Structure 1
Amino acid sequence: MKTISQKTAYIASLATGLLLIFIGVRFFLAPLHAEADYGIQTGLSSNFAFCYIKGIRDMATGILTLVLLLNKEFRSLGWLMLCMGIVPVTDFLIVLNSAYHQSSHLYPHLTAVLICLTVGPYYLYTTKNSTMQKVTPAQ
């Protein structure tokens, strides 16, 4: 039987992956709205290079999160979450230093940081490290 911690980590990981894919797709389909919801304003209305870079980054991370989760690669998912925690930290700082930011735009980035810093270590501490079996030479 799965514990509440296992279920919570699984649901948080699933939601994170799905939301990242949604956010990524949104940066391609509605770049100005996605940029505003991210918490910054580039002032560009015809060059969406930033939006496309942000969109593909989020889509790829979301897809990788789901692939690892659905294949039960929990230790790898833990490393991904922990290492990729730098992304929402940086996003948070970018929005915080934006002249036009609203505090409500900081909360999603802070939530992502908290998910990465709790789910990542949870998976690392609760899954066994896969070790290669030692091969003994035949005598």
Structure 2
Amino acid sequence: MKQLFYYLTLLTGLLLIFIGARFLLVPMTAETAFGIHTSTGGDYSFHYIKGIRDLFTGAAIVLLLLMREFRAAGFLLLAGSIIPMVDFSVVMSHTDYVAARLYPHAIAVVLSLILGFYYIRTTAKS
């Protein structure tokens, strides 16, 4: 079970790094995958903010795992669960949202909560 949670957490971090990089490199493609459509007029400020947020969060998760700071990773995941919760509501607030675009955000909420609680419960305070 320990190995399963480790690899799920690692995959979560790596996916966030990928999503963040995609928002920075191909913002419109990333926006569509996120589940919204905005008129940017060539201004990708939102996309860059979202991209760096995800890139940082993913890197922090991966680094904490590699440094074997599981308790810290647990708290980061637990606190960070607010991000996919808000992302879910942002997508759902668009009148033309597609239900399938909500699933990744919902899965991210569940994963963050489960993995966060797991690491906090199974690691002792230093």
Unmatched runs of 5 consecutive residues or more in structure 2: none
Q: How many residues align?
A: 126
Could you report, residue by residue, the CA deviation over 1:20-44 in whole angstroms, capped at 9, with x for unpaired residues? 0000010011100100110111111
Mapped pair 1:126 → 2:122:
yes
In structure 2, the residue matched to 1:37 is 33
Q: Scaled by the length of structure 1, what TM-score is found?
A: 0.89
Could you report, residue by residue, the CA deviation over 1:38-63 in whole angstroms, capped at 9, with x for unpaired residues? 01111114000000000000000000
Mapped pair 1:58 → 2:61:
no
Unmatched runs of 5 consecutive residues or more in structure 1: 131-139
In structure 2, the residue matched to 1:70 is 66
Tell me the C-alpha RMSD between the 2 structures: 0.7
Q: Which has the larger radius of gyration?
A: 1
Q: Scaled by the length of structure 2, what TM-score is found?
A: 0.98
Q: CA deviation at 1:13?
A: 0.7
4+ aligned runs moved over 3 Å, structure 1: none
Where do residues 76-91 of structure 1 align in structure 2 (5 Å cutoff)?
76-91=72-87
**Are 1:21 and 1:60, in contact at CA under 8 Å, matched by a contact in 2?**
yes
In structure 1, the residue matched to 2:111 is 115
Mapped pair 1:19 → 2:15:
yes
**Are 1:20 and 1:61, in contact at CA under 8 Å, matched by a contact in 2?**
yes
**Are 1:32 and 1:45, in contact at CA under 8 Å, matched by a contact in 2?**
no
